Amino acid sequence: MHNFEYHRAGSLADAASALKKAGEDGKLMAGGQTLIPTLKLRLAQPSAVIDLSGIKELASIKAGAGEVTIGAGATHAAVAASKDVQGKIKALADLAAHIGDRQVRHRGTIGGSLANNDPAADYPAAVLALGATIVTNQRKIAADEFFKGLFETALKPGEIITAVSFPAPEKAAYMKFANPASRFALVGVFVAKTKGGVRVAVTGAGESGVFRSAALEKALSGNFSAKAIEGVAMPAKGLNSDIHASAEYRAHLIGVMAKRAVAAAG
Amino acid sequence: MAPLDTGIGAAVRRREDARFLTGRGTYTDDINRPGQAHAYILRSPHAHATIKKVDIKKAKSSPGVIAVYTGEDFKPINGVPCGWLVTGKNNKPMIEPKHPIIAEGKARHVGDPVAVVIAETKAEARDAAEKIDIDYGALPAVVDMKAALKGGGKSVHDAAPDNLCFDWELGDKAATDAAFAKAAHVTTLDLVNNRLVPNALEPRAAIGDYDKATGEHTLYTTSQNPHVIRLLMGAFVLGIPEHKLRVVSPDVGGGFGSKIYHYAEEALVTWAAKQLGRPVKWTADRSESFMSDAHGRDHVSHVELALDKDNKFLGFRFETLANMGAYLSTFAPCIPTYLHGTLLAGNYSTPAIHTNVKAVFTNTVPVDAYRGAGRPEATFMIERVIDKAARELKTDPAELRRKNYIKPEQFPYQTPVALMYDIGNYGATLDQVLKLSDPGGYAQRKAASKAKGKLRGRGIASYIEACGIAPSNVVGSLGARAGLYEAATVRVNPTGSVVVFTGSHSHGQGHETTFAQVVSSMLGIPMESIEISHGDTNRVPFGMGTYGSRSIAVGGTAIHNAVNKIIAKGKKIAAHMLEAAEADIEFKNGKFTVAGTDRSKAFGEIALAAYVPHKYPLETVEPGLDETAFYDPKNFTFPAGSYVCEVEVDPDTGVVEIQSFAAADDFGRIINPMIVEGQVHGGLAQGIGQALTEACVYDKNGQLQTGSFMDYCMPRAQDVPNFKVAHSVTACTHNPLGVKGCGEAGAIGAPPTVINAIVDALQEYGVEHIDMPATPHRVWKAIQDAKARKR
Ligand SMILES: Cc1cc2nc3c(=O)[nH]c(=O)nc-3n(C[C@H](O)[C@H](O)[C@H](O)COP(=O)(O)OP(=O)(O)OC[C@H]3O[C@@H](n4cnc5c(N)ncnc54)[C@H](O)[C@@H]3O)c2cc1C
């Protein structure tokens, strides 16, 4: 990796001012599970790295009435192990428990994952399907407004995710068909029956990242059962084709994973 | 032999594991020489390009930089040699283009070295390399073998306009064609043996060191065969005589074939160390390994099997395209020929066999031996086409095999493809594997799978392997440019402890344990008194190294023979000390005894006498107890076996899960059953990896699409079931230990076993074949295609 300035932030305010000072080439680091490999491969050359992992206030997980708020710095392992998350949104705890491997889960964070918005990442499906709200040091962003395409989000330069607030659904489940090599999602489907209706988000498959499936949502709205999806055609258009899976296979898997998710949601 | 619990046949725990498991091994990258500089190799991002101009000015003035070299600097130096000359049809020798240390004028694969920076630190070397400005002229890449052979103005080397390295055949074509003409049934199959990346846990590394005062070079390198590297690099590349070149291969973290070869980086650091008067170290990172370690397999084949009306095999016909990559790696030409064509009789008494192999240059990383080396490719063709034949003929696949096996009474058996099998009992391993795998309960298991919505399949395959490639005079006549013997020195110290110097390098095989067991048995002394030393050309007399499951059969026999020389000399000394005739001295349980008496001398007493020769037959016997043996085998050894696997396929997703795997092998006599079982497990895991997960993929422009573990899928623990393993023994007839070798068997037998099981599971769709790796996507696609055909 190239040389850079390293700053371990003590507080959110400290991080924000360090980031501002560093300017365009400054980079936040949470768990480093995406950033460090990128630096090692010399695909990024930040002038300064501002480490958020020492900021205690970012790591908290709090349950309120009908919602759970997870600090941006909470690791995947912490989310998976949280009694609050398990109690209110079991699907989310399960999802976190199956990200990467043990090492990754103990360093990688929800904030880092969302800011990165990898098209094959798991969390974006949960955030979108549950209609979560992303809280930053500047504003609140609705899930539907947050994901803007491959590795693109609504975050502005200098903006730091501080927490994600998830309303508890009536029912929800996530089914991931892992890419055999990377174990990221080849196709991941998060189904949720929420107060505002049924929401279905698909990750891993879309050419421009996570998306909601209107067809599946419609089918499930009347009848939240695996049977209801039986005849729903999943078009391959707009889905990824690569050495691991064709768009047709991904389209097919969306149907299979959606059914399995609905069945698991009970 | 001695009734010691550390002798031959004992499941002794691996002595080397204490250091490996506690992180106390010493690998090449752990070695740091005083004043050491670091090399970073800039590699071509293009599969095929002319190198018009290389501007190194900025790199040279980058901080910490000591030197920058390009192809120009290496022009006067020879390329990396190929160790095997294959002669094709009409006596046409293979085309053997120069394989330069640093590309000269043209880059021929992604990863081809185009410049090297040597700096104070690795990071500085890498920083500087980014400042090298290369003007490339991109050329169209040659990737697909069939297209490559059409030439069409796209050639990897000017010397091979149609990209054909050689066109080789083996077997009697006329007799084979005649067999097919009279066949009652012919089964044909087109298949691919997928290209693999070896991915040893430890990436390659090399340190060059030069002593100005003595003129001696030392190369520390991750090699399976340091003496071979000394010979190839010293004699053919850099012109350094053996006495001025020491090659050390310390602990090596796995090779699987990929560390047999002499690589450009070894010559590069050795050469640069002398130029600069400083040690120079290079360690590959994983991305570099993917594009610079020799890959494995990569065959495209057409297979035909002819049977008579009683289902007896009449003939096999094979056409294979074998990918050589962009340059010939050390043993590349030998893999699809003498380690492949010669194995095409399999376990069967087929009267007529013919194969034609075309070796093809492409703009990809060189391809060479990888665990099994040619034999997995041969076995896959044979065992897949037999399975298809059994299905077409509606006969039991195990019984079709049994019917055509070479019978025990037929040994020694001369195959129509050059080899003479000395011994075997294929029916015995078949019986064993059937017993292990409970065919009686299969229908019930299939029904249980069906109830879960899964398709169950059962596959069987037999294999034969040829290990310990030899004898040297024969392989020499077939084009080998080296001998294939092994050497060992057994040094008995004055107090009776023993050091064995072996040319069989150990990099995971457990030689330090197994070889010590052989010596422990023979000398009747405990393992703790025996040290196995390997991997240093200044200590070990000579050696051809470890590959092709040759270590116990060839290296072990050399040790055995050297120990026998020690015993013979010991008898002379004992006879003198006991005042008896040499012929009356017996050696047993670590004691030299006058036959029929209780007068004896312990091994340690004889050792002491040899070094303190006071009461000693100095007139006729030299002092000292130190013997060397070179062993050149009379023939290959022929391990064989049969495997059975059951899989469950999820028809909704295409996911294959291996439910059970049983392996019955005949490795001849077994020295350490635990180590042998471990070797079988590892081989099976690699074979399952090839069958289910691993694929090295290039796009049509020659870009490596599977350049990291994000895209190249190694098998993980969860992909591998608990294995049931059994052995039966027919002792090898031509080596004194009766051993055959076991390192590659699993990787040879597993792929067809797994694929046969998957095809079996997909019978309700009429799927006839599926190429490896049978990924979920591929299995799902095979189901969809078969459904579409039916419609
Ligand atoms: C081997 C491996 C396997 C993996 N498998 C999976 C998987 O199966 N599924 C999956 O979803 N992911 C997987 N990941 C990714 C993993 O979940 C990462 O942890 C995650 O993508 C990034 O989180 P991080 O905390 O490590 O972020 P970092 O790497 O530290 O940062 C990532 C990006 O986010 C930015 N960032 C970090 N925190 C904030 C913040 N609070 N506000 C704004 N920007 C911020 C950084 O500047 C950087 O650009 C895997 C990673 C590895 C290495």
Tell me the per-residue pLDDT of B579-633, one tens digit each, with 9 for 90 and over: 999 999 999 999 999 999 999 999 999 999 999 999 999 999 999 999 999 999 9
pLDDT value for B2: 43
Contact of B455 with B761, CB cutoff 8 Å: yes
Q: What is the pLDDT of residue B669?
A: 97
Q: How far is the CA of A115 from the centre of ligand 1 (A)?
A: 8
Cα–Cα dist B39/B118, whole Å? 4
Q: pLDDT tens digits for B118-136?
A: 999 999 999 999 999 999 9
| Distance in Å, CA A82 to ligand 1 centroid | 19
Cβ count within 10 A of residue B701: 14
B486-492 and B455-464: which strand pairing?
unpaired
The token pair at B486 is 């092994």
Substitution candidate for ligand 1 out of A14, A101, A104 with most atoms within 8 A of CB = A104
Give, to the nearest 10 degrees, the angle between helix B745-761 and helix B375-392. Answer: 30
Strand partners, A6: A49
Q: Is A158 left (phi over 0), alpha (psi -120 to 50) or beta?
A: left
Which single residue is written with the structure tokens 């064609």? Answer: B177
Mean pLDDT estimate for chain B: 96
A-chain residues within 8 Å CB-CB of B130? 42
What separation in Å is there between the alpha carbon of A121 and the centre of ligand 1?
Answer: 9
CB burial of residue A139 (10 Å; 0-12, 13-18, 19+): exposed
**In this structure, what token pair is assigned to residue B15?**
């002595």
Exposed/middle/buried for residue B398 (C-beta within 10 Å: 0-12, 13-18, 19+)? buried
What are the tens digits of pLDDT across the range B709-728?
Answer: 999 999 999 999 999 999 99
CB spacing of B781 vs A244 below 8 angstroms: no
Q: Following CA atoms B502, B508, B513, B518 in sequence, which dihedral angle do they give, to the nearest 10 degrees?
A: -50
Chain A residues in contact with B123 (beta carbon < 8 A): 1
In A, minimum Cα distance to B719 occurs at A180
Instruction: Give the position of tokens 């700053």.
Output: A7
Query: CB contact, 8 Å: A245 with chain B?
Result: yes
List, in sequence order, every residue forming a beta bridge with B489; answer none if it has no partner: B501, B628
What number is the average pLDDT over the span B186-206? 98
3-state helix, strand, coil in chain B (%, to 5): 35, 25, 40
Q: Which residues pair with A198 in a beta bridge?
A: A193
Instruction: Determine the residue type at B506.
Output: S
Inter-axis angle of helices B397-404 and B426-437, nearest 10: 160
- pLDDT tens digits along B532-577: 999 999 999 999 999 988 999 999 999 999 999 999 999 999 999 9
Is B453 in the A-facing interface, judged by CB distances under 8 Å? no
Taking the Cβ of residue B287 and every Cβ of chain A, the question of whether any pair is shorter than 8 Å is answered with: yes
Tell me the C-alpha distance between A174 and A192, whole Å: 9
Sequence-ordered strand ranges (E) for B172-292? 185-193, 205-211, 216-221, 245-248, 280-283
Which of residues 664 through 693 in chain B touch A, CB cutoff 8 A? 693
Sequence letter at residue B339 = L
Question: What pLDDT is stored for residue B4 in this prediction?
Answer: 61
Q: Which residues contact A132 (CB under 8 A, 6 or more apart)?
A: A126, A143, A164, A165, A166, A167
Q: Give me the domains of chain A, ranges plus CATH numbers.
A: 5-50 (3.30.43.10), 59-265 (3.30.465.10)
Nearest-angstrom CA–CA distance, B609 and B570: 10
Residue B402 sits at φ, ψ, to 5 deg, of: -55, -45
Q: Given B697, B712, B777, which is nearest A249 (Cβ)? A: B777
* Distance between Cα A100 and ligand 1 center (Å): 10
| Beta-carbon-side half-sphere exposure of residue B657 (alpha carbons within 13 Å) | 10
> Which pLDDT score is estimated for B231?
96
How much is the pLDDT for B483?
A: 87
**Sheet holding A133-136: strands in order across?**
A61-64, A67-71, A161-167, A133-136, A140-142
Q: Is A172 in the pocket of ligand 1 (CB under 6 A)?
A: no
Contact indicator for B672, B10 with CB cutoff of 8 Å? yes
A53 interfacial to chain B (CB closer than 8 Å): no
Distances (CA, A) of B43 to A110, B56, B71, B124, B274: 37, 14, 12, 16, 23
Model confidence at B178, pLDDT cuts 50, 70, 90, reads very high
- Structure confidence by residue, pLDDT tens digits, B650-682: 999 999 999 999 999 999 999 999 999 999 999
pLDDT band at B1; cut points 50, 70, 90: very low
Residue nearest to atom 34 of ligand 1 (CA): A112
* A182/B710 Cβ within 8 A: yes
Residues β-bridged to residue B457: B647
- Full DSSP string of A130-184: HT-EEEESS-EEEHHHHB-STT-BSPPTT--EEEEEEEPPSEEEEEEEE-TTT-S
Question: CA–CA separation, B663 vs B744, rounded Å?
Answer: 13
Residue in chain B closest to A176 (alpha carbons) equals: B653
Name the residue among B127, B693, B780 with its Cβ closest to that of A180: B693
Strands B164-171 and B352-361: antiparallel
Angstrom distances, CA of residue B626 to CA of B287, B351, B529, B592: 46, 49, 15, 18
Test A181 with B777 for CB contact under 8 angstroms.
no
- Report yes or no: B700 at the A interface, CB cutoff 8 Å: no
Ligand 1 lined by A52 (C-beta under 6 Å) = yes
Half-sphere exposure of B455 (CA within 13 A, CB side): 22
B303: left (phi over 0), alpha (psi -120 to 50) or beta: beta
Nearest to A243 among B123, B126, B705 (CB): B705
State how far the alpha carbon of A176 is from the alpha carbons of A94, A184, A254, B618, B658, in Å: 11, 9, 10, 80, 20
| pLDDT for residue B6 is more than 90 | no
Q: In chain A, what residues touch B653 (CB-CB under 8 Å)?
A: 177, 253, 256
Residue ranges of domains in chain B, CATH in brackets? 17-24+485-631 (3.30.365.10), 31-139+202-253+259-292 (3.90.1170.50), 299-469+635-790 (3.30.365.10)
Nearest-Cα distance to chain A for B320, in Å, is 25
Percent pLDDT > 70 in chain A is 100
Mutation choice for B interface testing from A243, A248, A250 by most B CBs within 10 A: A243
pLDDT of residue B3: 47
Are B397 and B462 in contact by the 8 Å Cβ rule? The answer is no
Tell me: pLDDT of A56 over 80.
yes
pLDDT tens by residue, B388-438: 999 999 999 999 999 999 999 999 999 999 999 999 999 999 999 999 999
Identify which of B222, B228, B223, B219 has the alpha carbon closest to the alpha carbon of residue B267.
Answer: B219
Alpha helices of B452-552 — where are they, by DSSP H? Answer: 472-477, 511-523
- Nearest by CB: A181 against B123, B652, B713: B713
Closest of B526, B629, B524 to residue B587, by C-alpha: B524
Give the three-class secondary structure for A85: helix
Alpha-carbon span B391 to B766, nearest angstrom: 11
Q: Ligand 1 in contact with A153 (CB < 6 A)?
A: no
**What is the separation of C-alpha B340 from the centre of its chain, rounded to a whole number of angstroms?**
13
Classify B280 as helix, strand or coil.
Answer: strand
| Shortest CA gap B496–chain A (Å) | 50
Q: Choose from A241, A250, A253 for mutation: most chain B CBs within 10 A.
A: A253
* Range in A22-26, A236-240, B75-79 the model is least confident about: A22-26
Q: What is the Å distance from ligand 1's center to B175 Cα?
A: 64
Indicate if the pLDDT at residue B109 is higher than 80.
yes
Which residues on chain B are in Cβ contact (under 8 Å) with A41? 287
Mean pLDDT, rounded, for B317-336: 98
Average pLDDT of A221-230? 94
Task: Please check whether residue B739 is in contact with residue B671, taking contact to mean a CB–CB distance below 8 angstroms.
Answer: yes
CA distance B247 to B753: 41
Q: Can the peptide bond before residue B773 be classed as cis, meaning omega within 30 degrees of 0?
A: yes
Q: Residue B430 gets which letter from DSSP?
A: H
Omega prior to A37 cis, within 30 of 0: no
Mean pLDDT of A173-198: 97
B654 token code pair: 């295409």
CA B284, B287, B291, B296 torsion-angle sign: positive
Question: Which chain B residue's Cα is nearest to A244?
Answer: B777
Task: Indicate if ligand 1 lies below 6 Å from the C-beta of A121.
Answer: yes
Task: Tell me whether residues B711 and A182 touch, CB distance under 8 A.
Answer: yes
Instruction: Write the pLDDT tens digit of every residue in B609-623.
Output: 999 999 999 999 999
* Interface check A249 vs B, CB under 8 A: yes
**Of B375, B95, B41, B4, nearest to B204 (Cα)?**
B41
**Which of B127, B695, B780 has its CB closest to that of A249?**
B780
Spatial distance between the Cα atoms of A42 and A35, rounded to a whole number of angstroms: 10
C-beta of A113 in contact with ligand 1 (< 6 A): yes
Helix (H) or strand (E) holding B145: helix B145-149
